[in-house]
Chains A and B, each alone.
Chain A
Amino acid sequence: MTTIDATPATNKTPSPTNPRRRVYLPNTKYIPILATLTLLLIMYFTGVANYENFGQPSVVVNLFRDNAVLIVVAVGMTFVIITGGIDLSVGAVISMTTTLTATLLQAGWPPLVVLPAVLLLGSLLGMGMGAVIHYFKVEPFIATLAGLFLARGIALFINQSSIPIRDKLWKAMSEYRIVLADGVVTKITSVTAVVVVLIAAAVLAWTRFGRNVYAIGGNADSALLMGLPVGRTKIAVYTLSGFCAALGGVLFSINSTSGWALQGQGLELDAIAACVIGGVLLTGGSGYVFGSLLGVMVYGLIQTIITFQGDLNAAWTRIIVGLLLFGFIVLQRVVTRRAR
């Protein structure tokens, strides 16, 4: 286990005043995230060296487009994991949101009512799970597992097959292209994901709420004794994760202009893995939103490399994803261990 200072990232790395210090050592709490960044860059440049056109800026931009949902979900997951909890329901909340969105739009509801409604529903489900976890002392793993069954159960109950979305606003959002540079275009979904990351990072680093999140993850008892609002913060964190998952579902429905109850299966594990790769400790109290973003980038880059490789069947794709994940985690482990 890496020992990492649980305070938020407000204080800068102390300047090396000690004359005997010969090498620059980054603040220990940034080591996991720096290790991830370094390995990510190595992976990227390996891709550039091996595949034609890998170095084009659109590859990086498309990472955000293809993984917008995972980024948003991982942001919510980061908050939950930092408090020492876990949220398994996110994939199911995505499926519930896409199904509900598609059904309501098909029924002729105005899109500007549907959008807040589904976001509210996701948040409420998250809030419910948070309340159960806090007030009834049910383990987060189990409470959110029940949430998983509930959300996917609702989705399957509404409709078991894929529902197309023909709403004008959704179509427009899906087809709208934002030109960043010549030949580099992106979609609304990726911009949303980036905005969510920036807001969440700011909230986690600079607000009282963010500080409470770290404090609870470090030691919930101490946080309570210090007079911090443990219950409120915990419930807020799961509400936030529910909101992010619902937003992820909306992005999913925009991307695919359809809703499907089996959407997002296993996405919760991808999100958790992304957080952990990004240096968020599952024991709580340590981690950054940008770390999780890097984790998602690692996942996305693995997928991109497999796409560029091109000649892999389903079986080999799974194995290569596993192997790359393995290589990455072991390397990260070695790097962080050395750095201590």
Chain B
Amino acid sequence: MEKKTVDLSLLDGVLEEYAPVKGSLITILQHTQDIYGYLPKEAIELISDKTGIATSEIMGVGTFYTQFRFEPVGKYLIMLCQGTACHVNSSELILQTIKDELGIEDGQTTEDGLFSLKCVACLGCCSLSPVMMINEDTYGSLTPDKTKKILKELREAAL
């Protein structure tokens, strides 16, 4: 996906609120990602300027936590749960279905920029396993067919 030019002014509010508060780096990065969908290099450099935290530290933190991304993601971010209950209830089949349907691997985005796939730690909806979250919505008791249907609906909704 093509990266758009990064409008750094969008960060003004976040930095004004959190830059003076010690220990806020993760919070700032979370807000930054909410704004841009990922952590652009330019934003990290600005955060470094405003907080006095070295870019090497910021990148160290950013690359430590799985939440942070350094590339833009698709319109729909599929987060497939890798928890124990999901594993026991064959989440592997769901993963395979998504890969087959979208032609992408874990961590990749479809060429049309619609879907990104990310395998994530337990989402805590174990009773509905296997489970995935797409953006803010959780989908449970998945079967390969149900998964295909969900993806199809989302694709159609996007068009």
A binds B: no
